[in-house]
């Protein structure tokens, strides 16, 4: 199966092509804008390198966040449009899943994804629990409380070092590819996931960004 994966939920925009079990091409670019001008160029570069056309791709995968609201919207809208135009499958992968992919987790550890959320907050999820956004100052105590006595915590993601863990028993993992979502990880997850289940819809129209908290909206002056 040929898969193209994209993530634009952080400043690190990435594209990866997977054929079977092999990553045939990947590119990553750290940008100061929201990927609007660079994503299609990066995807075209990747496809040309592999000699693929959009019709050769059997499945598209996209990181749906949480992360940058604008960046995530751009990635999701772009991949949805291509999947609709080509009639191919689409798989959504969360940022939490992407940073946890491939981790070596000890039997007694509980893996918790912790990602920056701006405004002094972090996005948090473990297992299939409902994702949260928590203040950095109180995140450690809240996570320990919610996870309970499930053993040591494996904290994965670039949000981990932002939290003061105090005396909690934690192991921090925040080096690539476990720092932020990477398209190569998203491609591998998509290669092992059926897109037609209720929790992972295959219809592009059903794929939406995962914000966790309401998007920031700035109203024009004088609006009420």
Residues 149-188 have pLDDT tens digits of: 667 899 999 999 999 998 888 999 999 999 999 999 999 9
Give start-end residues of each CATH 3.30.420.40 domain in the chain. Answer: 2-96+179-206
Q: What is the pLDDT of residue 202?
A: 57
Number of Cβ within 10 Å of residue 154's Cβ equals 23
Report the candidate in 179, 192, 201 with the shortest Cα–Cα distance to residue 1.
192
For the entire predicted model, the pTM comes to: 0.89
Query: The dihedral of CA 132, 100, 216, 137: what is its sign?
Result: positive
Per-residue pLDDT 10s for the chain (224 aa) are 999 999 999 999 999 999 999 999 999 988 756 566 788 889 999 999 999 998 899 999 999 999 999 999 999 999 999 998 888 889 999 999 999 999 999 988 999 999 999 889 999 999 889 999 999 999 999 999 988 766 789 999 999 999 999 888 899 999 999 999 999 999 999 999 865 444 444 566 678 999 998 765 544 455 44
Q: What is the pLDDT of residue 94?
A: 96
CA pair distance 57, 35, nearest whole angstrom: 22
Cβ atoms of residues 69 and 213 within 8 Å: no
Q: Which two tokens stand for residue 36?
A: 């609007």
CA pair distance 210, 167, nearest whole angstrom: 32
CATH 3.30.420.40 fits 2-96+179-206, yes or no: yes
**Overall fold of domain 104-173:** Nucleotidyltransferase; domain 5 (3.30.420)
Q: What is the pLDDT of residue 21?
A: 93
């Amino acid at each position: 199966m040929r898969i193209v994966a994209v993530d634009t939920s952080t400043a690190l925009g990435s594209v990866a092509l997977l054929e079977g079990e092999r990553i045939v091409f990947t590119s990553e670019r750290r940008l100061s804008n929201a990927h609007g001008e660079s994503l299609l160029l990066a995807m075209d570069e990747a496809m040309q390198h592999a000699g693929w056309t959009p019709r050769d791709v059997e499945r598209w995968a996209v990181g749906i966040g949480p992360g940058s609201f604008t960046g995530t919207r751009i990635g999701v809208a772009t991949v949805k449009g291509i999947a609709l135009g080509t009639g191919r499958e689409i798989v959504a992968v969360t940022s939490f899943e992407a940073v946890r992919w491939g981790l070596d987790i000890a039997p007694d550890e509980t893996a918790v994804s912790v990602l920056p959320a701006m405004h002094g907050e972090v996005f948090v999820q473990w297992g299939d629990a409902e994702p949260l956004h928590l203040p950095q100052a109180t995140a450690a105590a809240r996570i320990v409380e919610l996870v309970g006595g499930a053993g040591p915590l494996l904290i994965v993601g670039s949000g981990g070092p932002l939290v003061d863990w105090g005396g909690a028993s934690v192991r921090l993992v925040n080096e690539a590819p476990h720092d932020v979502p990477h398209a190569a990880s998203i491609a591998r997850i998509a290669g092992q996931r059926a897109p037609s289940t209720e929790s992972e819809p295959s219809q592009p129209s059903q794929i939406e960004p995962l914000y966790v908290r309401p998007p920031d909206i700035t109203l024009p002056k004088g609006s009420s």
